[in-house]
Amino acid sequence: MKKLSLMFAASLLVSPLALADVVVIGHSAGPDSITENQVRDLYLNRSNELPDGQKATTFEMASGDAVRAQFHDKITGRNDAQLKAFWSKQVFTGRGQPPAEVNNAAAMKARVSSTPGSIGYIDEADVDSSVKVIFTP
Amino acid sequence: MKRLLQLAPLALAIAASSASAQSTEDTLARMQQQLDSMQQQVNTAKNDRVRFNGFFSTGVAKSSNDAGFDGITEKTSVADLSLFALQGTFDVSDKSQAVFQLVGRGAEDWDPVVEWAYLSYRPINNLQLRAGKMRLPLFMYSDSLEVGYSQPWARPPQSVYGPISIKSYVGADATYTMNLDNSAVTGQLFTGFTDEEGTTGPSELRNVFGTTLSWTDYVWTARAIVGTAQVNIDIDLNQDGVHEYALSDGERALFLGLGLGYDDGIWQVISEVTRAKIDGEFADTDSAYVSVGRRFGSVTPYAVIGWIESTDNDDRTFLGPALNTRRDEYSIGARWDITPGVAIKGDVTHVTGFENAAGGLDAAYVLPAGKNSTNVYTLKLDSAF
């Protein structure tokens, strides 16, 4: 029985369906915390400044990604089609460009840890010492 | 289990190299270095100093007669609604950008036209200065006038967006945004001049001055504009470049507009009211529309009521009756977001209430034919990429 439950726990760890909670991560030299409204403002082009006044750089997971869907469900309340429409309006009115997209958690950590003033988001399970968690929705 | 298997070779490698602790540290340091340089390479390759975006529209439209609402007749071809645009954004420095937008329209044999070519500069975060060729910011959707994908409708309501054919100007503007707690106020000043072919013949605006003020809490949006310019509008009576008559000759024109929007993610309500006054023979008009849409997943049906009326019918003598304008527009349509970046729209618009004038449409057809209405059916594909 104990063996079974261990195996069950292990299978949860490796199953891609077992999604832990999304967390917002930042560059190590950036602020230690950020509010939900500030994160939303950065991802909806309403602000381009971190709480400490640094110019912010945001990163997104690619369209269709489960962590991306979870992040936007919690923070901006917009799905992929709505985000696409939102950003096309921003781009073609000259107001801004959408965040650069990355394909997986490792790439997200690499971009965030090497870009001062950057923020991104990953599954809590993927957090390591290269980045710091600045907000948990 | 998968993860364990993936880790196995690494564990083996570490085990193999851990003949001494020293070599393990060396290996780790070397791996770290390699990783760092790889990250740098990735970042250099992803350097976003130049970006290209584009949009595309195509569609079919057919009218019940040749009144020419939005230029659509009984035999409008697919190319007339088609356009392709390419936008380039170049980061000149941290604070300045160069932006151009080239638009090729099927109705103009796809000759590319520069609609935007400007340099923008942000001395501070909330202030943007621009100089070059830009859209004249008369309406809420002026900046994205031809980006069908960013609009809910098959076409912007013609009662408001139709009468003024000048879309772009050359000049400068300054935009200041004040971020408040969960809302923002934006003020803009603009000045410049134009020289474009209008719908009736050559038209020109000089000494354009204007200001816009808008407020949004990201659900509600309110906007006001006041603009003035000296106007030259020539009408080319026989369309031959010879029989040109000045409808307006350096007269000062005044434009006023109010806009209100509401978008909570489900309901989308948009309304604009505008007033254009020009001394001389060109028609002064008041116009307005109200649009209501509701999202059902990827489908957004909408209904629009629009109205336009000329306000100086008794003041004009020469071409007065032909330019007397009065019409009502009723549109029902739907937008279907097939996939992010692509939308299909269908629209039926009924236009009526001309009251013995041309309704601001093709007088040469409407008046002799004694028409008092026209129906326009539109199917459109809009994309942004």
Cβ pair B143:A11 closer than 8 A:
no
pLDDT tens-digit series, residues B233-280 = 777 666 565 666 676 777 889 999 999 999 998 999 999 999 999 887
Which residue is associated with the tokens 């609402």? B69
Cβ-based contacts of B147 with chain A (< 8 Å): 88-89, 92
Pairwise CA distance, residues A27 & A21, whole Å: 20
What would the pLDDT profile of A29-43 be if each residue is shown by its tens digit? 999 999 999 999 999
Structure tokens at B254: 């005044």
Q: Which residues of B touch A107 (CB under 8 A)?
A: 42
Q: Please tell me the predicted confidence (pLDDT) of residue B38.
A: 65
pTM of model > 0.95: no
Question: Which ipTM was obtained for this model?
Answer: 0.75
Q: How many helices (H) and strands (E) does chain B have?
A: 6, 17
Q: How far apart are CA A28 and CA A112, in angstroms?
A: 9
pLDDT under 70 in chain B at which residues?
A: 1-22, 29, 32-48, 197-202, 236-245, 247, 318-321
At CB < 8 Å, which residues of chain B contact A? 1-4, 39-40, 42-43, 46, 48, 51, 53, 55, 87, 89, 94, 99, 101, 116, 118, 120, 125, 130, 143-144, 147, 149-150, 179, 182, 184, 218, 265, 298, 337, 339-341, 384
CB contact under 8 A, B341 and A49: no
Query: How far is the C-alpha of B106 from the C-alpha of B146, rounded, in Å?
Result: 13
pLDDT for res B238 = 60
Q: Give pLDDT tens digits for A119-129.
A: 999 999 999 99
Mutate to test the interface with B, among A35, A93, A128 (most CBs of B within 10 A): A93
Give the nearest partner residue to B43 out of A48, A93, A114, using CB atoms.
A114
User: Model confidence over A4-17: pLDDT tens digits?
Assistant: 565 555 555 554 45
Name the residue type at position B138: L
Asked if A80's CB is within 8 angstroms of B340's CB, the reply is: yes
Q: Which helix (H) or strand (E) holds B39?
A: helix B21-45
Give chain B's domains with CATH numbers.
52-384 (2.40.160.10)
pLDDT at B245: 67
Which chain B residue's Cα is nearest to A8? Answer: B1
